[in-house]
Structure 1
Amino acid sequence: MSQNKFKLVECPRDAMQGLHDFVPAKLKSEYLNLLLQVGFDTLDFGSFVSPKAIPQMADTIEVLANLDLTDISTKLLAIVANLRGIEDALKHEHVRYLGFPFSISETFQQRNTNSSIEQSLTTVEKMLLLCDKNNKKVVIYLSMGFGNPYGDVWNYEIVEKWADILVSKGVEIISLADTVGVSTPKKIEHILPKLISRFSNTEIGIHLHSTPTERFEKIEAAYNSGVKRIDSALKGFGGCPMAADDLTGNIATEDVIAYLNSRCETVELNMEKWNEAMRLSAKIFG
């Protein structure tokens, strides 16, 4: 299925990773197989990280083995946080994208990947070389991209500086991530057009977290900013367990679809399979 000019990235991994009760691999796979049939551009399906850090994703390899990828156009993305995770992910033919959370908050980079920003940059450099050799693509999530709760200095110049450095290293896809829901329409419309204009040969996307009441205006701001790559999760489930205890959820995919439809944008998705996934989600998320 074509996605026309918008790349919709569905993020069940982000939705599930903070759940307290472990979701069996069989149920995860059943859910992911439905989402694969919907026709999203990319499915953020799992992660190759320490099971101690994210216990919910400990069965990613088992889940991957149970995915039916026959006649599926959706590309699989897995999150990695260090060289070991990168090497593990590279062993799997069907994983097309490796996503790395690169925080512009020093505090959060240490909390999330147990490394400094500079150490993470070295990891990204190695990751780019390895992915190039193995025919994989790198997606860098520029996390805490709209501010942070730790008191670390944040401004647009810092966002642009790190985007500039990453692009100079060879990064082709950057998703600006609002890890704790501090973005506002004003910030989105200030930052995104500048990044898209400055890095015209780089795919600039957005990964927003939000309270339900603010989702629509953030989606509208992203659309008005010219973003063509949008991360979201069914029903707005999830958030980042490494960032806060009171999780701010993802942008809801159904809100993104509804907004794009309201703007007469073509969104070619299998809504029958989407509705099946919506119903099955109750078994996972309650």
Structure 2
Amino acid sequence: MSFPRQVQIIEVGARDGLQNEPSHPDVATRVELLERLTKSGIKHLEAGSFVSPKWVPQMTKTDEVLAALQASQQADVQQATFSVLTPNLKGLEAAVQAQAQEVAIFSAASESFTQKNINCSIQESLQRFDAIMAQAQQINLPVRGYVSTVVACPYEGKIQPQKVAEVAKHLYEMGCYEISLGDTIGAATPFEFKAMLEAVIQEIPMEALAVHCHDTYGQALANIYVSLEMGINKVDSAIAGLGGCPYAKGASGNVATEDVVYMLQGMNIETGIGLQALCETGQWICQKLNRSNQSKVGKAMLA
């Protein structure tokens, strides 16, 4: 198979990244981060989530973040799409009230992971999304689906590729326009990741798939390379590698957007993203959060 000519980066730093940060950045910082990211050329970004403040305090006031973005006069912001995570009907209703452009729901391919996180089976978790999908479809609100633990689970170890394919197919047939496949603990190796993708591709069109690789074991770029080689052209990543891996103490989490873009540019694959501006944004947010920059490219280019 040939590599795609273009790849869309879905920037998850302002949601999946910040929600795992111990500091709680204010609305102004979150908005500025998203504005800077759009200015670098990123067109699709997670802006936050509508979840209980008790469980994810970092994501409070996502409605204010969306309001600020909607009021922005920056052309780059106006042309971008901002999505929010809505794990239940209450979250969806809040997102609709805040005039969100897109919402996301998430499931997992591991029964143990699902039970420990939301106290139900995979099948029960998927059934809970029926009401969300029905309401979203009534107002033509796009829904993106996430599948976690697609290769390995912190509780039950290796996950069978066919199980991933089953969950992904269910979300796709439910109405999710795109399915993001997440290596939640970042333990997958390229051969394992490829085997998982081969199973999923049998059930879902290639153009409806994205990959979401964590870099806990330093395998993220290798797994993304394998995905590109198979023809996948959508990649989730987080500026400066924001976030962490709650299942592996001290480990890094999301793959850094700067590192992904650098690799893609070296492969002559178009992203529409300016790498220098991206690196500067990564350094800026790390200083704001008083944390180290997890992007190797960012640190090298700004050294």
Q: TM-score, normalised by structure 1?
A: 0.89
User: 1:240, CA displacement in angstroms?
Assistant: 5.0
- Residues of 1 paired with 2:5 and 2:138: CA distance? 29
Alignment of 1:174-193 (within 5 A): 174-193=179-198
Counterpart residue number, 1:206: 211
Query: Contact between 2:81 and 2:102, CA under 8 Å: does it hold in 1?
Result: yes
> 120, 132, 154: which one pairs with 2:159?
154
Change (3 A) 1:285 1:173: farther
Change (3 A) 1:158 1:268: same
User: 1:216, CA displacement in angstroms?
Assistant: 2.8
User: 1:247, CA displacement in angstroms?
Assistant: 4.3
Counterpart residue number, 2:79: 73
* Structure 1 range deviating more: 161-170 or 52-61: 161-170
**Is 1:165 aligned with 2:170?**
yes
* Structure 1 range deviating more: 266-275 or 172-181: 266-275
Give the letter for the 2:10 counterpart: V
Change (3 A) 1:136 1:25: same
Counterpart residue number, 1:145: 150
- Residues of 1 paired with 2:119 and 2:197: CA distance? 28
User: 1:244, CA displacement in angstroms?
Assistant: 5.1
User: 1:166, CA displacement in angstroms?
Assistant: 2.4
**Is 1:62 aligned with 2:67?**
no
Counterpart residue number, 1:6: 7
- Residues of 2 paired with 1:39 and 1:168: CA distance? 32
> 45, 48, 56: which one pairs with 1:46?
48
Query: Contact between 1:180 and 1:248, CA under 8 Å: does it hold in 2?
Result: no
User: 1:202, CA displacement in angstroms?
Assistant: 5.7
Query: Contact between 1:238 and 1:247, CA under 8 Å: does it hold in 2?
Result: no
Give the letter for the 1:213 counterpart: G
Change (3 A) 1:118 1:69: farther
Q: Kindly provide the CA deviation profile for residues 166-221 of structure 1, in whole angstroms up to 9, marking residues without a partner as x.
A: 23323321111111112111112222244235322761111111137333322212
Q: Structure 1: which 5+ runs fail to align?
A: none
> 251, 255, 258: which one pairs with 1:254?
258
Give the letter for the 2:193 counterpart: I
- Residues of 1 paired with 2:140 and 2:63: CA distance? 19
Residue 179 of structure 2 aligns to a residue whose secondary structure is: strand
* Structure 1 range deviating more: 19-28 or 45-54: 19-28
Query: Contact between 2:108 and 2:167, CA under 8 Å: does it hold in 1?
Result: no
User: 1:263, CA displacement in angstroms?
Assistant: 1.2
User: 1:155, CA displacement in angstroms?
Assistant: 0.3
Residue 198 of structure 1 aligns to a residue whose secondary structure is: coil
Q: Kindly provide the CA deviation profile for residues 25-73 of structure 1, in whole angstroms up to 9, marking residues without a partner as x.
A: 2222211211122222310120100111111111212222222264332
Query: Contact between 1:179 and 1:239, CA under 8 Å: does it hold in 2?
Result: no
**Is 1:134 aligned with 2:136?**
no
Give the letter for the 2:267 counterpart: R
**Root mean square deviation, CA, Å:** 2.3
Residue 224 of structure 2 aligns to a residue whose secondary structure is: helix
Q: Kindly provide the CA deviation profile for residues 208-266 of structure 1, in whole angstroms up to 9, marking residues without a partner as x.
A: 1113733332221221122111000112121354x554444111111111111111112
Query: Contact between 1:15 and 1:237, CA under 8 Å: does it hold in 2?
Result: yes
Change (3 A) 1:124 1:284: same
> 89, 92, 116: which one pairs with 1:83?
89
Counterpart residue number, 2:228: 223
> 110, 115, 121: which one pairs with 1:116?
121
Counterpart residue number, 1:263: 267
Alignment of 1:267-278 (within 5 A): 267-271=271-275, 273-278=277-282
Query: Contact between 2:162 and 2:199, CA under 8 Å: does it hold in 1?
Result: no
- Residues of 2 paired with 1:180 and 1:211: CA distance? 7
Residue 181 of structure 1 aligns to a residue whose secondary structure is: coil
Change (3 A) 1:38 1:69: farther
Counterpart residue number, 2:294: none
Query: Contact between 2:240 and 2:256, CA under 8 Å: does it hold in 1?
Result: yes
- Residues of 2 paired with 1:263 and 1:272: CA distance? 17
Q: TM-score, normalised by structure 2?
A: 0.84
Q: Structure 2: which 5+ runs fail to align?
A: 292-303
Residue 66 of structure 1 aligns to a residue whose secondary structure is: helix
Q: How many residues align structurally? A: 282
